[in-house]
Amino acid sequence: MPRVSIPAFCLMVVTTLAGSRSRDPQAVETRPDAPFTAVVSASGARLFFPLEDRREWIWYLSTTPDNEREYEWSGEVENGGTRYQFGFFLFKPQGTTTARGDFSALIRAGQTSVAIAVGTAPHGRMIVLQNGRVSMARGNNLLVVSITDPETLQTLFSGRPPLVTLKVQVPGAAEVTRPVTISYARPNAK
């Protein structure tokens, strides 16, 4: 899956995190008052997660079993009776050794994806949608997961689901799962 250019996207995130308004009349203010915020407008969706400020990140730990998830910043929504999960995921491939680097290196080691739930728990599974598009950027102690692709935005938010469940998993910390009310932009009155 092609990745969005991070430098160009970072400029957009810096602008929104600084609190300036987009020129898009459908846009919504996207500066979060706190981490764990979800904002959806006609031009995109943004999930805001707290992000620890580290100089070095470590992944593919020897204590992580092969093929297990180590890192995750994701959202899960139900739209039109179908459950979707989207965001960043890093799984430890079999036979890998411990890796270290900055946050950009960690992101390059993982994947961004959109997946659809098939089946029901405990036997259900997630299937990655090949045409799903997700991008990420780092702000000041925030990670922003964004959907700007119109098809992906329609798939996930066309029915205006009221909640998204945000999930954070980082090695050495307890998994955080938090339901968040989605803030939708109001269409302009004419």
Partners of residue 168 on adjacent β-strands? 73, 176
Model confidence pLDDT, tens digit, residues 13-24: 322 333 322 333
Distance, CA of 121 to CA of 130 (rounded, Å): 23
Asked whether the predicted pLDDT for residue 4 surpasses 60, the reply is no
* CB-CB contact of 71 with 92 (8 Å): no
The answer to whether the CB of 145 falls within 8 A of the CB of 74 is: yes
pLDDT at residue 102 tops 90: yes
Torsion of CA 73, 78, 83, 88, to 10 degrees: -10
Exposure of 182 in the CB half-sphere (CA atoms within 13 A): 25
**pTM higher than the cut 0.85:** no
Helices (H), 18-149: 103-109
Q: What is the spatial distance between Cα 157 and Cα 80, in angstroms, rounded to a whole number?
A: 9
pLDDT for res 185: 86
Domain layout of the chain by residue ranges: 6-53+69-91+112-184
What's the rounded Cα separation, in Å, for the pair 189 and 25? 10
pLDDT of 33: 52
d(CA 115, CA 83): 9
Which of these, 93, 31, 20, lies nearest to 59 by C-alpha position? 93
Beta bridge partners of 116: 84, 127
The confidence score (pLDDT) of residue 87 equals 97
Query: Letter for the amino acid at 132?
Result: G
What would the pLDDT profile of 31-90 be if each residue is shown by its tens digit?
445 689 999 999 999 999 999 889 999 999 999 999 999 999 999 999 999 999 999 999
Domain 6-53+69-91+112-184 in CATH 1.10.3470? The answer is no
Tell me how far the alpha carbon of residue 73 is from its chain's centroid: 6
Report pLDDT for 85: 96
Structure tokens at 37: 């915020």
Instruction: Tell me the per-residue pLDDT of 164-184, one tens digit each, with 9 for 90 and over.
Output: 999 999 999 999 999 999 999
Phi–psi pair at 34, nearest 5 degrees: -155, 160
pLDDT of residue 120: 78
**CA nearest 140: which of 22, 28, 16, 25?**
16
pLDDT tops 80 at residue 103: yes
Q: Which tens digit of pLDDT belongs to each residue from 131-156?
A: 999 999 998 889 999 999 999 999 99
